Amino acid sequence: MMNETVLKEQQSNAMPMPESYAPKKEIEREAAVSIPKAARKRKWRPGNSENLIGYLFISPWLLGLIFLTAGPMLFSLYVSFTDYNITSKMNFIGFDNYKRMFTMDDLFWTSLWNTLYFVLFSVPLTTAGAVFIAVLLNQKIPGMKIFRTIYYLPAVLSGIAVYFLWMQLLSPTTGLINTVLAWFGIQGPSWLFDPEWTKPALILMKLWSVGGGMLLYLARLQGVSNVLYEAADLDGANAFQKFWHITLPMLTPIIFFDIITSTIASFQIFQEAYVMTENGDGGPGGSLLFFNLHMWNKAFEVFDMGYASSMAWFLFVIIMVLTVFNLKFSKKWVHYDGGDNK
Amino acid sequence: MKKGFHLGFILLLLCSLVLSACSNNTEAEGKNKDGKVVIDFQTFWGSETRRPVIEKIVDDFNKSQDEIEVKHTFVPWGDIWTKNTAAVAAGNPADVIVNDINTVAHRAENGQSEDLSQYIDEGIKDELYPNLWETVQYKDKFYGVPFTTDTRVLFYNKDAYKEAGLDPEQPPKTWKELEDHAKKLDVKKDGIYERIGFYPTWGSFGAGSWMANADDGKGFFEGNEMYINTPNKVEALKWVAGWHKRLGAKNVQAFQAEFGSGQTNPFISEKVAIWTDIASFYTQIRDTGKDMNFGIAPIPAFKEEGRNWNEGGGFVMEIPKGAKHPKEAATFIEYLASEKAQKYWAQKNYDNVANKKAAESVLKDFTGDEKLVYEQALKNLKDTRFHPAPIDYPDYASRVDPQLEAAITGKSTPEKALQKAENDVKKLKR
């Protein structure tokens, strides 16, 4: 029902043909033919003064990458094979850290499970939530700008203040959420104090700030051509069919981007658990001991930097594999404009 | 022409970058314009109450000196020790830093702090409480000088006692009495607790502390010797779990959530009638409690004839490894441990201090409730044990705590939980 109104609004909203609808493929094909010739000639000739200037211009970034990113990363890779403790030890111990991680450390598995749980629920839910809100906010009704601002606001308000706000909202007896639930006769859970409910509480909190993703979807929705919906109408498509066969496919590039970035970000969840639990110890029943929190405790509480580095590299591998899988799998469902082979 | 200009411009930029990175080297000598050696002293005491006190002490020292000038730097609590470790690794640490009393040996072992016995005469220990001195020793040397300590006591609401028909002058002496009193102090209306008499793990005496109290003051470790799964500890854990069962998970969680953020204290807001905390918790009652009628007692003993074992924490002064002026830093540390500085600190901040004479003489200056509490705090020290983290198992708590919680919330039995805790901790040994 809601979709129908959305689409009708769109139909009446005559928009200029979006740029993205232009026959991009042709441009690409042209480019594919013409650029490489010139590029081949110029490739890897540092003596060419134009190239040199180019490198000089990017040198701040290049130096940053080499010394501030790649350097420390390689260092941590080496450290993961040592018993480095920052101040006095750095002996090569082979795969000991990794062995300890997989065989001796129960908390490693707890933290991995907690993190997977969080990723598994928060990524699809926040993505679906953002799409849903974006579709709603794409209607033409008076005051829409105000709604858009309101929904985007949580994405601007971030950080520690928000966590404290949510700790109060989620308070079992006096919190707003349980108070509202009580109006409907539901006795709300203890949220952050009940091991069963701590992770759902955090996921709920994440859902509140889907505004960032929502904005991307909204921008994309505004660019979907009415021609497509008109054609669908002529074929007698209903609102759901139009959403399923037009709106959603048009959104897939953004969904794809959103899933990749939010998967990576979700695996790295740390602040929330560190701030919202006492002493950053992982919360009730260790239910908020996320991978990065465990790693942080190892690195900066007991200075077992070698072990923490091996954890970091394991996480890196997980994220890498998932991202590569996502990229490969994306060919099956991500729709790019103008292409007939997706 | 144009290209040459571009190139030159970029090179200029790069040079200025490099130069600005190298220019911060003027204080390398570490002396000020009067020729005094400048000592960098880092603390996390930045609050309105503490900062003026430590700065007055620094000021007094500077006035008494014509060779050393101490500069106090405030570093936030969450950063100070991590930053210090990084600074030690980078070779430019502070000269004096305040650090945790229970991990002195770890820093000694890991080469993060200087051996102070080369600079300070060991005779200094005679002026300080002996159980504090134990914490700074490592392999026959000492790596810090104790500054302050704390000790856990029982606060109880005398008005609530009267209301419940209990004698407000008879605080609980044993666990049994504590439980009897607490049950009478509970106030329940329509199935909801309005006041909970007592709950053992609220305040600053956790399950582990009660277990040590029951086990003749023994912590989970004595040195590297493990005392996790002992009969008394099992019994103590059963007792703690009993409270959770009696009050119900929901009620415990609800209460905990109300004061979890630290904005209100449930004892001061009279939601809980008996409360364990460090003695200087008194200042909170004084400042916010609206003339609350409270009493103070030692932590109850496990059994009639037992002692009132409680746990201590505190802070020591250390010289980070690689400090530029260890000799001068040591002179300042000696001053910080002196009767004068220690007495001033105790007077203003109400902490237990390490210097015996300072503690006793400040007691004479206090009156009324202040005196009552401080007297108890001093008496308490004889039953105060420190449980420094063992060298081989620095993060044993991360393995023990989840098991304690499982036992308390009924997800495991005390016997099984402690067995598992012991096994998990053993795996940590490197």
pLDDT tens-digit profile of B290-342? 788 999 999 999 999 889 999 999 999 999 999 999 999 999 999 999 999 99
Which residue's structure tokens are 């590299």?
A: A313
Measure CB to CB from residue A172 to each of B10, B257, B411 and give the nearest one.
B257
Cross-chain Cβ contact A87/B89 below 8 Å: yes
A31 found inside a domain: no
Task: Name residues of chain B where pLDDT drops below 70.
Answer: 1-30, 260-263, 289
- Hey, is the C-beta of B103 within 8 angstroms of any chain A C-beta? no
Residue A4 has pLDDT above 80, yes or no: no
* For testing contact with chain B, the best of A171, A302, A310 (most B CBs within 10 A): A302
Q: What pLDDT does B255 receive?
A: 87
User: Domains of chain B by range and CATH?
Assistant: 37-149+312-385 (3.40.190.10), 151-311+388-428 (3.40.190.10)
Angle at B322 between CA B320 and CA B326, to 5 degrees: 70
Residue A224 is part of which domain span?
A: 2-22+93-333
Q: What pLDDT does A159 receive?
A: 79
What is the nearest CA distance from B46 to chain A, expressed in angstroms?
20
Name the domain count of chain A: 1
Measure CB to CB from residue B254 to each of A107, A173, A303 and give the nearest one.
A173
A88 found inside a domain: no
Q: What pLDDT does A15 receive?
A: 41
Which is more confidently placed, A174 or B338? B338
Measure CB to CB from residue B85 to each of A89, A298, A303 and give the nearest one.
A303
Q: Chain A 218-277, CB below 8 Å of chain B: which residues?
A: none
pLDDT mean over A39-48? 58
How far apart are alpha carbons B153 and B280 in whole angstroms? 10
Q: What pLDDT does A34 receive?
A: 45
Backbone torsions φ then ψ of B74, nearest 5 degrees:
-90, 125
- Hey, is the C-beta of A86 within 8 angstroms of any chain B C-beta? yes
Backbone torsions φ then ψ of B38, nearest 5 degrees:
-95, 125
Q: Nearest CA to B204 among B80, B138, B285, B299?
A: B299
Residue A10 has pLDDT above 50, yes or no: no
Cross-chain Cβ contact B6/A105 below 8 Å: no
Cross-chain Cβ contact A105/B427 below 8 Å: yes
Residue A14 has pLDDT above 80, yes or no: no
* For testing contact with chain A, the best of B3, B7, B10, B409 (most A CBs within 10 A): B10
Measure CB to CB from residue B258 to each of A49, A86, A171 and give the nearest one.
A171
What is the nearest CA distance from B10 to chain A, expressed in angstroms?
7
Cross-chain Cβ contact A190/B405 below 8 Å: no
Q: How many CB atoms lie within 10 A of CB B156?
A: 24
Measure CB to CB from residue B110 to each of A88, A193, A278 and give the nearest one.
A88
A174 found inside a domain: yes
Q: Taking a C-beta distance cutoff of 8 angstroms, is the pair B56, B48 a contact? A: no
Q: What pLDDT does B16 receive?
A: 53
User: How many residues comprise chain B?
Assistant: 430
- Hey, is the C-beta of A57 within 8 angstroms of any chain B C-beta? yes
Q: How many CB atoms lie within 10 A of CB B367?
A: 8
Cα A334 to chain centroid, rounded: 17
Nearest CA in chain A to B405: A285
pLDDT digits (tens, 9 = 90+) for B196-209: 999 999 999 999 99
pLDDT digits (tens, 9 = 90+) for B26-80: 444 567 777 899 999 999 999 888 999 999 999 999 999 899 999 999 999 988 9
The enclosing domain of A12 has a CATH number of 1.10.3720.10
What is the nearest CA distance from A88 to chain B, expressed in angstroms?
5
A199 found inside a domain: yes
When pLDDT is cut at 50, 70 and 90, the band that residue A141 belongs to is confident
What is the nearest CA distance from B425 to chain A, expressed in angstroms?
10
Measure CB to CB from residue A104 to each of B89, B260, B427 and give the nearest one.
B427
A76 found inside a domain: no
pLDDT digits (tens, 9 = 90+) for A252-308: 999 999 999 999 999 999 998 888 887 777 888 889 999 999 999 999 888 899 999
Measure CB to CB from residue B424 to each of A56, A106, A193 and give the nearest one.
A106
A180 found inside a domain: yes
- Hey, is the C-beta of A176 within 8 angstroms of any chain B C-beta? no
Q: Chain-wide mean pLDDT for chain A?
A: 84
Q: Is B119 exposed, middle or buried, given 0-12, 13-18 or 19+ CB atoms closer than 10 A? A: middle
Q: B37-43 and B96-100: which strand pairing?
A: parallel
* For testing contact with chain A, the best of B259, B269, B430 (most A CBs within 10 A): B430
A54 found inside a domain: no
Q: Chain B 1-30, CB below 8 Å of chain A: which residues?
A: 3, 6-7, 10-11, 14, 17
* For testing contact with chain A, the best of B196, B202, B250 (most A CBs within 10 A): B250
Q: Taking a C-beta distance cutoff of 8 angstroms, is the pair A305, A316 a contact? A: no
pLDDT digits (tens, 9 = 90+) for A123-133: 999 999 999 99
Residues pairing with B295 in the sheet:
B156
Q: What pLDDT does B295 receive?
A: 95
How far apart are alpha carbons A198 and B257 in whole angstroms? 13
How far apart are alpha carbons B352 and B337 in whole angstroms? 13
pLDDT mean over A55-66? 93
Residue A44 has pLDDT above 80, yes or no: no
